[in-house]
Amino acid sequence: MPNSFQFIERTSGKAEKFSSIDDKIRELVAAHPDEKSYYRGWYDAFGLEAAIGWSFERMILERISDPPADDEIMTILQWLAANYETDAWYSPKY
Number of domains in the chain: 1
Does residue 94 lie in a domain region? no
**pLDDT interval class at 92 (50, 70, 90):** low
Across the chain, the runs of DSSP E, i.e. the strands, are 5-9, 84-88
Does residue 81 lie in a domain region? yes
pLDDT digits (tens, 9 = 90+) for 10-40: 999 999 999 999 999 999 999 999 999 999 9
Which domain covers residue 49, as residue numbers?
5-88
CB within 8 Å of 57: residues ≥ 6 apart:
81
Does residue 93 lie in a domain region? no
The pTM of this model reads 0.85
pLDDT of residue 1: 46
pLDDT of residue 62: 87
pLDDT of residue 51: 87
Does residue 18 lie in a domain region? yes
